[in-house]
Amino acid sequence: MDVDVLSEWFDKSARDLPWRRDDCTAWGVLVSEIMLQQTPVARVEPIWHEWMARWPKPSSLAAASQGDVVRAWGKLGYPRRALRLHAAAAAIASTHDDVVPSDVDTLLALPGIGAYTARAVAAFAYGKRCPVVDTNVRRVVARSVHGAGDAGPPSTTRDMADVEVLLPPDDASAAKVSAALMELGAVICTARGPRCADCPVFATCAWQLAGRPAYNGPAKPVQRFAGTDRQVRGRLLDVLRDTTGPVTRPQLDLAWHDAPQRDRCLDSLLVDGLIEQTPDGLFTLPGEHPTAEQAR
């Protein structure tokens, strides 16, 4: 893999995403990374702008109620991310002087930040040299380096080692390569219908050289959605996002026909802290009304 060619291509062709601009703060980068987990850029962009205008610093988000945060998360999906980001913001505000940490291990200690996000923040917000491995990068490496049709099952240790050897010695160049690997996987070396004719590293791609063999590893598990608890939880939460005040149990019951499943999902949302019950038995998004405890 010729990473110099890749970097040149990135300079010339990268999408102009707002969290990549010079004036974007580390906080902006962190918010974008959390929102982008399993969620396409097109859906993230408008919400990210709203968040940056409304909560420009970790402490501003930390000062908001959980309910406001969950509502502002909208339909990005996996709303527990919103709660975790809120908690991370509170930790950053209280113990890191409102400054997003630049150290990978410190980032890893924050809720909702795992191996990918910690390194993405270190690299993209602080220009550090550290392997950033997401699904795009794994696919790019599988093809261009290993000559496989697609990446096999993830292995954090092996995947990071694969990327580590590709990174130039200096921080700035390495950070750019990290961004370029992701960009390549997102727009050229895509899962379906890769645009190899437009690929900057076509000439040295091991997959091309091997005659583009089909992926022969284990099939990736397919996630069902229709009829699952995930769908039911989404429906339940949707009722609360769309209303300002507390709702009654019968109102929530309209969201799903299967009572046992509905009850189980409501329970799990209460456990997750995505929904709260008021002292008088109504349901709300969290932190918007006094709980029985706070009412004393």
CB of 196 to DNA, least distance (A): 15
**Continuous segment of H or E residues that includes residue 250:** helix 249-253
Q: Quote the crossing angle between the two packed helices 26-35 and 41-54, to the nearest 10°.
A: 140
Residue whose pair of structure tokens reads 């913001």 in the numeric block = 89
| 50 part of the active site | no
Asked whether the CA dihedral 247, 252, 253, 259 is positive or negative, the reply is negative
Residue pair 247/240 in contact by the 8 Å Cβ criterion: yes
CB of 263 to DNA, least distance (A): 13
Phi, psi of 94 (to 5 degrees): -85, -35
Q: Based on CB atoms, which residue is closest to DNA, 61 or 237?
A: 237
CB of 82 to DNA, least distance (A): 9
DSSP string, 74-107: TTSS-THHHHHHHHHHHHHHHHSTT----SHHHH
End-to-end CA distance of the chain: 64
d(CA 284, CA 179): 40
> Token pair for residue 184?
């390549």
Angle at CA of residue 131, ends 79 and 25, nearest 5°: 55
d(CA 154, CA 263): 35
Chain contacts with DNA (rule: CB under 7 A): 17, 19-20, 32-33, 36-41, 43, 75-80, 84, 111-118, 120, 134-136, 139, 153, 155, 182-183, 185-186, 190-193, 219-225, 228-231, 233-235, 237-238, 268, 274
Q: Based on CB atoms, which residue is closest to DNA, 7 or 32?
A: 32
CB of 211 to DNA, least distance (A): 20
Q: Based on CB atoms, which residue is closest to DNA, 78 or 126?
A: 78
Question: 8, 33, 45, 293: which one is catalytic?
Answer: 33
Q: Based on CB atoms, which residue is closest to DNA, 109 or 203?
A: 109
CB of 222 to DNA, least distance (A): 3
Q: Based on CB atoms, which residue is closest to DNA, 165 or 271?
A: 271
Catalytic residues: 33
